[in-house]
Amino acid sequence: MSPQRIAAIGVDAGSTTCKVVAVTPTGAIAAWRLERGLPRIEEQTAALVDDLLAECPDASVDVRIVATGYGRKLVGRAERSVTEITCHARGVFQSTGHGGTLLDVGGQDSKVIQIGHDGRVLDFAMNDKCAAGTGRFLEHTAARLDVPLDELGPRSCAAPSEQAISSTCTVFAESEIISLIAHGVPLDGILRGLHRSLVSRLVAMVRTLGVRPPVMLSGGVARNTAVRALLEQDLGIAVEVPPHPQLMGAFVAALLALHTSGSDLDSMHGATRTPGFQILK
Amino acid sequence: MNLPAQLSYAVGYGLVGKAALWRQRRKDERAILARMRQPSGQLLAPPLLSSARMKELMSRHYLQARYATGVRKVAWVTSGAPVEILQALGFLLIYPENHAALCGARRKAVDMCVEAEHAGYSRDLCSYARTDIGTVISGKAPITRIPKPDLLLCCTNICQTVLYWYRVLAHHFKVPLIVIDTPFLFEEAQAHQIDFVKQQLEEAIPVAEQVAGRTLSFPTLKDVVHAGKRASELWLEVLNRAQHRPAPITAFDGFTNMGPIVDLRGEPETIRFYETLLAEVDRRIETGVGAVANERMRVLWDNLPIWYRMGWLSGLLAQRGVSIVASDYTYAWGELAPMMDPDRPIESAARVYLHPILNRSTGNKLHSMRRMAKDFQCDGVILHSDRSCKPYSLGQIAQRDWLANEVGVPAFLLEADHSDSRAFSEEQAGNRLEAFIELMEARG
Mean pLDDT of B182-205: 96
The answer to whether the CB atoms of B431 and A266 lie below 8 A apart is no
Question: A1 pLDDT band (50/70/90 cuts)?
Answer: very low
How much is the pLDDT for B332?
92
pLDDT, greater one: A135 or A167: A135
Question: A59 pLDDT band (50/70/90 cuts)?
Answer: low
Q: Name the architecture of domain A8-81+246-268.
A: 2-Layer Sandwich (3.30)
How much is the pLDDT for A46?
92
Q: Which amino acid, B287?
A: T
With a cut of 80, say whether residue B91 has pLDDT above it. Answer: yes
Q: Cα(B301)–Cα(A57) distance, rounded to whole angstroms?
A: 51
Mean pLDDT of A116-131: 84
Lowest mean pLDDT among A76-80, B37-41, B388-392: B37-41
How much is the pLDDT for A170?
77
Q: pLDDT > 70: what percent of chain B?
A: 100
- Domain A99-242 CATH superfamily: ATPase, nucleotide binding domain (3.30.420.40)
CB A229 within 8 A of CB A162: no
How much is the pLDDT for B353?
96
Q: Chain B contact for A5, CB < 8 A?
A: no
pLDDT tens-digit readout, B351-377: 999 999 999 999 999 999 999 999 999
Mean pLDDT of B412-432: 93
Question: A264 pLDDT band (50/70/90 cuts)?
Answer: very low
With a cut of 80, say whether residue A189 has pLDDT above it. Answer: yes
The answer to whether the CB atoms of A70 and B443 lie below 8 A apart is no
The answer to whether the CB atoms of B431 and A83 lie below 8 A apart is yes
Nearest CA in chain B to A72: B431
The answer to whether the CB atoms of B435 and A70 lie below 8 A apart is no
Nearest to A127 by CA among A219, A232, A31: A219
Residues of A with Cβ-Cβ distance to B428 under 8 angstroms: 128-129
How much is the pLDDT for B31?
95
Q: Chain B contact for A124, CB < 8 A?
A: yes
The answer to whether the CB atoms of A265 and B441 lie below 8 A apart is yes
How much is the pLDDT for A281?
32
The answer to whether the CB atoms of A265 and B425 lie below 8 A apart is no
Question: A270 pLDDT band (50/70/90 cuts)?
Answer: very low
How many structural domains are present in chain B? 1
**Hey, of A121, A127, A134, A136, which one would you mutate to test binding to chain B, going by the most B CBs within 10 A of its CB?**
A121
State the pTM of this model: 0.90
Q: Cα(B417)–Cα(B431) distance, rounded to whole angstroms?
A: 17
How much is the pLDDT for A52?
87
Mean pLDDT of A57-74: 84
The answer to whether the CB atoms of B438 and A82 lie below 8 A apart is yes
Domain of residue B248: give its range.
3-443
Q: Chain B contact for A225, CB < 8 A?
A: no
Mean pLDDT of B178-187: 96
The answer to whether the CB atoms of B404 and A121 lie below 8 A apart is no
How much is the pLDDT for A267?
47
With a cut of 80, say whether residue A275 has pLDDT above it. Answer: no
- Point out the residue among B415, B427, B442 whose CB comes nearest to the CB of A70: B427
Mean pLDDT of B29-43: 89
Cα A177 to its chain centre, rounded Å, is 27
Which residues, 6+ apart, have CB-to-CB distance to B411 below 8 Å? B380, B381, B382, B383, B399, B400, B401, B403, B404
Residues of A with Cβ-Cβ distance to B439 under 8 angstroms: 85-86, 120-124
Q: Cα(A105)–Cα(B65) distance, rounded to whole angstroms?
A: 54
Nearest to B154 by CA among B83, B87, B68: B83
Residues 358..397 of B with a Cβ closer than 8 Å to A: which? Answer: 397
How much is the pLDDT for B143?
93
Q: Chain A contact for B427, CB < 8 A?
A: yes
Q: Cα(A205)–Cα(A103) distance, rounded to whole angstroms?
A: 9
Q: Chain A contact for B195, CB < 8 A?
A: no
So what's the ipTM on this one?
A: 0.81
Which residues, 6+ apart, have CB-to-CB distance to A189 below 8 Å? A159, A160, A161, A162, A163
Mean pLDDT of B405-428: 94
Residues of A with Cβ-Cβ distance to B433 under 8 angstroms: none
**Hey, of B296, B431, B433, B436, which one would you mutate to test binding to chain A, going by the most A CBs within 10 A of its CB?**
B431
Residues of A with Cβ-Cβ distance to B410 under 8 angstroms: 123
CB A32 within 8 A of CB A21: yes
With a cut of 50, say whether residue A265 has pLDDT above it. Answer: no
Residues of B with Cβ-Cβ distance to A256 under 8 angstroms: none
Rg for chain B, CA atoms, rounded:
21
Nearest CA in chain A to B320: A263
CA distance A121 to chain B (A): 6
Lowest mean pLDDT among A3-7, B109-113, B142-146, B201-205: A3-7
Q: Chain B contact for A94, CB < 8 A?
A: no
With a cut of 80, say whether residue A260 has pLDDT above it. Answer: no
Question: B41 pLDDT band (50/70/90 cuts)?
Answer: confident
User: Which regions of chain A carry the CATH code 3.30.420.40?
Assistant: 8-81+246-268, 99-242
The answer to whether the CB atoms of B432 and A120 lie below 8 A apart is no
The answer to whether the CB atoms of A128 and B443 lie below 8 A apart is no
CA distance A281 to chain B (A): 33
The answer to whether the CB atoms of A120 and B442 lie below 8 A apart is yes
The answer to whether the CB atoms of A123 and B431 lie below 8 A apart is no
Mean pLDDT of B84-97: 97
pLDDT, greater one: B5 or A136: B5
The answer to whether the CB atoms of B438 and A208 lie below 8 A apart is no
pLDDT tens-digit readout, B291-305: 999 999 999 999 999
- Point out the residue among A121, A126, A265 whose CB comes nearest to the CB of B432: A126
Question: A165 pLDDT band (50/70/90 cuts)?
Answer: confident
Q: Chain B contact for A108, CB < 8 A?
A: no
Q: Chain A contact for B404, CB < 8 A?
A: yes
Q: Chain A contact for B431, CB < 8 A?
A: yes
Q: pLDDT > 90: what percent of chain B?
A: 94
Q: Chain A contact for B295, CB < 8 A?
A: no
Residues of A with Cβ-Cβ distance to B427 under 8 angstroms: 70
Q: Chain B contact for A36, CB < 8 A?
A: no
Mean pLDDT of A129-156: 85
The answer to whether the CB atoms of A83 and B410 lie below 8 A apart is no
With a cut of 70, say whether residue B196 has pLDDT above it. Answer: yes
How much is the pLDDT for A272?
36
With a cut of 60, say whether residue A268 has pLDDT above it. Answer: no
The answer to whether the CB atoms of A129 and B415 lie below 8 A apart is yes
Residues of B with Cβ-Cβ distance to A123 under 8 angstroms: 404, 410, 439
How much is the pLDDT for A4?
65
pLDDT tens-digit readout, A218-227: 888 998 999 9
The three state secondary structure string of chain B is CCHHHHHHHHHHHHHHHHHHHHHHHHHHHHHHHHHHHCCCCCCECCCCCHHHHHHHHHHHHHHHHHCCCCCCCEEEECCCCCCHHHHHCCCEEECHHHHHHHHHHCCCHHHHHHHHHHCCCCCCCCHHHHHHHHHHHHCCCCCCCCCCCCEEEEECCCCCHHHHHHHHHHHHHCCCEEEECCCCECCCCCHHHHHHHHHHHHHHHHHHHHHHCCCCCHHHHHHHHHHHHHHHHHHHHHHHHHHCCCCCCCHHHHHHHCHHHHHCCCCHHHHHHHHHHHHHHHHHHHCCCCCECCCCEEEEEECCCCHHHHHHHHHHHHHCCEEEEEEHHHHCCCCCHHHCCCCCHHHHHHHHCCCCHHHECHHHHHHHHHHHHHHCCCCEEEEEEECCCHHHHCCHHHHHHHHHHHHCCCEEEEEECCCCHHHCCHHHHHHHHHHHHHHHHHHC
How much is the pLDDT for A273?
41
How much is the pLDDT for A3?
56
With a cut of 60, say whether residue A276 has pLDDT above it. Answer: no
The answer to whether the CB atoms of A121 and B427 lie below 8 A apart is no
Residues of B with Cβ-Cβ distance to A265 under 8 angstroms: 438, 441-442
How much is the pLDDT for A138?
86
How much is the pLDDT for B262?
94
With a cut of 80, say whether residue B161 has pLDDT above it. Answer: yes
Average model confidence (pLDDT) across chain A? 85
**Hey, of A88, A90, A126, A209, which one would you mutate to test binding to chain B, going by the most B CBs within 10 A of its CB?**
A126
Mean pLDDT of B244-270: 96
The answer to whether the CB atoms of B444 and A126 lie below 8 A apart is no
DSSP classification of residue A27: S
Mean pLDDT of A163-179: 83
Q: Chain A contact for B398, CB < 8 A?
A: no
- Point out the residue among A84, A208, A265 whose CB comes nearest to the CB of B442: A265
The answer to whether the CB atoms of B425 and A123 lie below 8 A apart is no
